[in-house]
Structure 1
Amino acid sequence: MIMKKIYSLLLASALVFTSCSDFLDTKPQGKLTQDIFFGEEEGALMGINAIYSQMKSWDLIGFSWFGIMEVPSDNSDTGSSPADGSYARVNSLNDFTYDVYTSELNGWWTGNYKGIGFCNVALDNLDVLKDEQLKIRSIAQARFFRGFFYFNLVRTYGGVPLVTKVQNPDEYDQPCASEEAIYQQIIDDLSYAAMNLPTRDEWGIAERGRVTKGTAEGLLAKVYLFRQDYVSVKQYAGQVISRGEYNLHHNYRDLFSPDSYYSDEVMLADQYLWGSDKTRDKASEYVKWQGVRGFKGWGFSSPSESLDKAYESGDPRREATIIYDGENMEGVGVINFKDEPGVQPRANKKTMWPTTYWNANNFAKQNCHLYFLRYADVLLMYAEACNELANGESDPLVDDALAKLELVRDRARKSGDDPTVLPKITERNKAKLREIIWNERRIELAMEGHRFFDLIRADKVVPGYAEKMLKAHGKTNFNMSQHSTFYIPQKQIDISQGILKQNK
C-alpha cells in the first residue's frame, strides 16, 4: 500500500538523514537511533525542516496544485496548447470530465500524505528532545503543517484516512474517516500550534519564513470559514489583526516580487528551505508551468476572460495579475504568445519578472514564490465574518466589515496612479455586501489557489452560487453534488486492496 510505504520510508530516511550531512563533527558509528537523531537540536531541526521542504515538492506546487486549486474555477482556463501532451488531462479538470485515473488527483493525495508522514515522524520522536523550548516549538510546527496538509485533503476529497502516528506497514488498515473527524483533527492541531508557536518578531529575522502564532490563527480562521463558524473566524482573524504582527505590503504588484517573499504580509509561502550550510535555496519552479506559452514556460492555468472582465475599471490589480500578448518585459522586450490554435492571450503575471530576477539566466529558476496565506486574506475573512454576524444594517459589525474591506481596496488603489479608482464600499445589505466581499476575494487573491474552493464553500451559504458563476464562464459540466469534491484516486483504492472506498 502506498501509505504503508510512505511512513516506513519516511521513518527510515529520517533516521539515516545524517549520512549525507555534515551537521555532526564526527561520523556516526553504526546505526543512528531515533533517540540520538531527535534528541539533539540539529537532528530535530533537520526533521522539522524536512516538512518545510515538502512545501516545494512537485505535487504541492506543480500540476496538481493548479489543476485542483485554480483550473476548475472561473478565474482560470486550461491554458497551454491542445498540442501539449498534458493538455487533455489538465483540460479534464477545467471542464469537469476528469475521472478516477487523472494523475493530478493522485499526485495531490500522495504529496499531502508525504507531508503528513514527515509530520508524524517528527511528532512520534520529538519527546526525547532535551531542550524543552525547542521541543515545544518543533511540535507546534509539525502540528501546524499536519493541519495544513489535512485541510488540503479534506477540501479536495472530503473524508480521508486519518493517520496521526507512524505505523508499521503491516498494521495499516484504515478506511476513510468522516469529514467531521478530519476537521476536528485539523482544529486540534492548529489550536495547539496557535498556543505554542512564537510570533514573527519572537522568531527573529534569522528565522523568517517559519510558521508563526499568526500563521496558525490565520489558517484556523480559514478552516472555520469553511465550517461557517463565523464567531470563530472573527475571533482568530481578529487576533491576527489586533496583534499587528502582519500588515499589508505597500504595493500590490511589488508584493509578488522575488524580493518580497519575506514581506510582513506573507504568512505562509513555499520559500523556506536550507542547504547543509544553512543558506536559503530561494528558487521555486512553480512559475515554469504557468509562464507564457512560446516564451519561457508551458502556459498552463491561464487567467480566464471571466477574471479579466471581473475587475473594476482602473483596478491596478488587473495589470499586476494578468500579462497580455504584446506586453513588454524589462530585459526581455515584447513578449509574444505562441501563435497556435487554443493558446490563450493571457498568463499569470504574478510569476513574470524581469531577467534581473532570474537565477543563472533561467526563467524557471527565478526567486518567485507561491503564497499559501497572506494578511489581505485574513482581513477579508474578518470582513466576511462581521457581515455574516451582523444583526441588521445598523449593526456596528457592518462598519467593521466595511473598514477591513476598505483597507484592502485602499492598498490596491494606492498601487496605481489614479486615486479615484475603487471607490469606498458603502453597501450595508447583508446579501449584497456578502457578494461584494466574495468578489473582492476573487480579485485580491486571483491565481493564488483560493477561488475554486471559495466557490464551493459559497455555494453552501447561497445554494446555486457556484453553478451560477461557473456556468456563466461556460463550465456547463459542473454539478455541485458531483463536483464539490474530487474522486479518491483509483490508484489508492487499488493499493489499499479495497479498504478505501470511492467517495461518490
Structure 2
Amino acid sequence: MKNNSIKYSYIFSFFLLVGLTSCESLLEVELPSSELSSATVYASDATAEAAVNGIYQSMVTLTYYNSLHIIPGQTSDELLPVSLIENVYTTNEIPITDGTNGSMWTEFYKTIYNANAVIEGITASKTLTEAKSTRFVAEAKFIRAFCYFYLTNLYGDVPLVLSTSVEKSSLAPRNTQTEVYNQINIDLEDASNNLPVNYSNYTNQRIRATKWTAQALLARVNLYLGKWTEASTYASAVISQNGTYKMINGLTATNSPFIADNTEAIWQIPYFNTAYTYEGGATFTAPNAATQIGGTFILRKSATLFETDDARKTNWTVPIKSSAGVSIGIGPRKYKNSYTTAPVERSTVLRLAELYLIRAEARAKLNDITGAQQDINVIRNRALLASTTLTDPNQLLDLIALERQREFFGEFGHRWFDLKRTGKADEVLGIIPAKIWAATDKLYPIPETATRSNPFLTQNEGYY
C-alpha cells in the first residue's frame, strides 16, 4: 500500500470533512480554530459525530461518483465512450501506472483510515454517551466493510488494515480474499446489531447507515459467496421493512430510485452544497437535446439490451448520434440533474431493486421457482414488462442476469462483478473484438506507486 496514503492526516481531514454536518443540517458544531487533538475530537458526542460524518464526506471523491461507475462499466461489456475510440479500460489493458486506478486504491484506503480512526478514537473515549458511541462505531465498521468489499472484488487479495498504525500498515502484505470477506462479515454483523432501525437519527435523510443498510450489503456479500440461504434471508429482512422501503411505480424524471430520499433508496451519498449529482452533471452527460450529438458514453448492447417498451430504456437512456448525425446507440441517463436545482438527486449506492434480484437468484439456486418468479416480476412489472413464466432454474438465472444488466447499467460496477462471480467473464468478454482479453484481466493491477513503497505488496498476475 502506498505509504503516504496511510499517513493521510486524520486531524487535517477532520477539518476538511466536517462540512457534512452543516450542509445536511445534521449537526451544528463550532470547532475551535486551533489544531484539534484526537482526545478533543472524541471528547463530546457532537464532535465525535462530526468525525463520523467526515467519513461519509470522504466518499465524495472521483472514486465514488465516477470511477466506480465508468471504469468497471468499460472493462465489462457495458460502456463505450461516445467517440467509439477504445482505451485502456475498454480493451482491458490497464497499466500499473494508470492514475485513475491508482486513485481508486488510494481513496478506498483513505476512507478506511478515517473509519479506523473513528473506531479507535471512540473506543478510547471515556466521555461519550454509550448509545451514541456504539452507533458511531457501527457506522464506521459498515463503511470499512463497504470499502473492503470493493477492494477485494476489484483487486483480489488486499492488505487488511484495521488500525491507524503506520508501522503496521505501511508494510502490510496482502490478505487472502477469504480473510477479507471474513472481516467484512464481522464488521457488517456488528454494524447490523448496533445501527438504528430507521433514519430518524439522520433527520430522515437516507444518507447514513441503518440496520437495513448493513443487512442489504450482507445480502450482497452472501450472494457473492454462494451462500444462497443467507443471501435470501438478509434480502427478505430488508424487503419486509415495507413501511420504509417500497418499489416506485411509474418511472419518471421526478419519480426514480435516484431522487433524494425516495422509497427505494437504502443508502445514498449526497453532494454537499449542491442540488445536483456529479453523475448527472459530469459523469453521464446528456447529448444536445435538439441534435442528439454529445454525451459521454453509450451502451455496447444498445440495440439488444432492452425489450420493447421497457420503462428503463424510456426513462434511463437517451439516443445519441455521432458528430456526423448518425445514430450510434443509446447512452445512460439515469441521473437527470445537470447543475440545476431540480430534481434533487443523490448518488444511490444501495437500493431496493437489488434486494429483490438477490433474493430471486438465491431462490432460483435453492429451486424455489415460484419465489424466484415473484421477485423477478417485481422488477419486470415496475419496468412495464410482462411477468415471466419460465420454470427452468437455469433459464431463470439467465433472466435474472439480464434483468440485473438492465437494472444496474452504469452503476457501481455491478455488471463487471456479476460477470466475474458467475464465471461468465471469459465467455462474454473474450469474444468482444476490441478487447485484448486474458483471464488475468478479471483483477485490476495493484498501482505501481503502492507496490514500490511496500516491498511486501505483490502484484496481481498478468501485470508487470
Give the drift of 1:345.
Answer: 4.5
Mapped pair 1:401 → 2:372: yes
Equivalence for 2:109: 113
Where does 1:89-104 land on structure 2 (aligned, <5 Å)?
91-104=87-100
Q: Percent identity?
A: 23
Q: 1:79-94 counterparts in 2 under 5 A? A: 79-80=82-83, 82=85, 91-94=87-90
- Provide TM-score, normalisation by structure 1: 0.81
Q: 1:468 aligns with which of 427, 431, 449?
A: 427
**Cα deviation digits, residues 92-137 of structure 1 (max 9, x gap):** 1112122212222111101111111111111110121511111111
Counterpart check, 1:310 vs 2:269: no
User: Does the C-alpha gap of structure 1 residues 16 and 227 become closer, same or farther in structure 2, counting only changes over 3 Å?
Assistant: same
> Would the aligned equivalents of 1:75 and 1:307 in 2 still touch at CA under 8 Å?
no
Distance of 2:293 and 2:213 partners within structure 1: 31
CA displacement at 1:311 relative to structure 2: 1.0
Q: 2:381 aligns with which of 385, 410, 426?
A: 410
Q: Which residue does the alignment assign to 1:439? A: 402
Indicate how the Cα distance of structure 1 residues 269 and 452 shifts in structure 2: closer, same or farther if over 3 A, else same: same
Q: Distance in 2 between matches of 1:95 and 1:5?
A: 31
Q: Which amino acid aligns with 1:503?
A: N
Conservation of the 8 A alpha-carbon contact between 1:210 and 1:272: no
Counterpart residue number, 2:418: 454
CA-based RMSD of the aligned residues comes to 3.0
Structure 1 residue 485, shift from structure 2 partner: 1.1
The residue number in structure 2 matching 1:334 is none
The yes-or-no answer on 1:387 pairing with 2:364 is yes
Could you tell me which runs of 5 or more consecutive residues in structure 1 were left unpaired when the two chains were aligned: 83-87, 274-279, 326-336, 360-364, 391-396, 414-421, 460-464
Structure 1 residues 65 and 298, CA gap change in structure 2 (3 angstroms): farther
Offset, 1:283: 3.2
Give the letter for the 2:286 counterpart: V
Q: Can you list the C-alpha shifts for 1:144-191, whole angstroms capped at 9, x where unaligned? A: 000001111000000111101011358732011111111111111111
Other structure's SS at 2:7 match: helix
5 Å-filtered alignment, 1:104-503, equals: 104-127=100-123, 128=125, 129-168=127-166, 172-200=170-198, 202-203=200-201, 205-244=203-242, 245-254=244-253, 260-271=259-270, 273=272, 281-287=274-280, 288-292=282-286, 299-304=295-300, 306-325=301-320, 337=321, 339=323, 344-353=328-337, 358-359=340-341, 367-390=344-367, 397-413=368-384, 422-449=385-412, 450-459=414-423, 465-471=424-430, 473-479=432-438, 481-496=439-454, 498-503=455-460
CA distance 1:270–1:240, shift in 2 (3 Å) = same
TM-score by length of structure 2 reads 0.87
- C-alpha spacing 1:257/1:56, structure 2 compared with 1 (3 Å): farther
Q: Is the 8 A contact 2:257 2:351 kept in 1?
A: no
Q: Does structure 2 retain, via aligned residues, the 8 Å contact 1:76–1:307?
A: no
- Tell me the CA shift for residue 371 of structure 1: 1.8
Distance 1:160 1:71, change over 3 A: same
Distance 1:314 1:123, change over 3 A: same
Inter-CA distance 26–42: structure 2 relative to 1 (3 Å threshold) = closer
1:78 aligns with 2:81: yes
SS class of match (1:268): strand
What SS class does the counterpart of residue 43 from structure 1 fall into?
helix
Which amino acid in the other structure matches residue 56 of structure 1? V
Match of 1:47 in 2: 51
Q: Give, in angstroms, the shift of residue 256 of structure 1.
A: 6.7
How many Å separate the matches in 2 of 1:178 and 1:220?
A: 19
Q: Distance in 2 between matches of 1:74 and 1:378?
A: 23
Give the AA of the match of 1:76: L
Structure 1 residues 340, 255: CA separation in 2 closer, same or farther (over 3 Å shift)? same
Shift of 1:55: 2.4
- The aligned amino acid for 1:502 is Q
Give the Cα–Cα distance (whole angstroms) in 2 for the partners of residues 441 and 214 of structure 1.
21
**Paired AA for residue 39 in structure 2:** D
1:85 paired residue number: none
Residue-by-residue CA offset, 1:257-296 (whole Å, 9 max, x unaligned): 59822111011222175xxxxxx64433233132136789
Conserved? CA contact 2:29–2:47, under 8 Å: no
Q: Is the 8 A contact 1:15 1:34 kept in 2?
A: no
CA contact (8 A) 2:11 2:37 kept: no
User: 2: distance between equivalents of 1:79 and 1:121?
Assistant: 42
Equivalent residue for 2:25?
A: none
Letter in structure 1 aligned against 2:369: V
CA shift in 2, pair 1:99/1:5, >3 Å: closer
- Distance in 2 separating the partners of 1:200 and 1:493: 42
From the superposition, tell whether residues 297 and 211 of structure 1 become closer, same or farther in structure 2 (CA, over 3 Å). Answer: farther
- Aligned residue for 1:99, secondary structure, equals coil
Which structure has the highest helix share of the two? 1
Q: Which residue in 2 is equivalent to 1:419?
A: none
Partners of 2:426 and 2:434 in 1: CA distance = 9
1:225 is paired with a residue whose SS is helix
Does the 8 A contact of 1:160 with 1:176 survive in 2?
A: yes
Paired residues of 2:257 and 2:264 also in contact (CA < 8 A): no
Partner AA of 1:116 in structure 2 = I
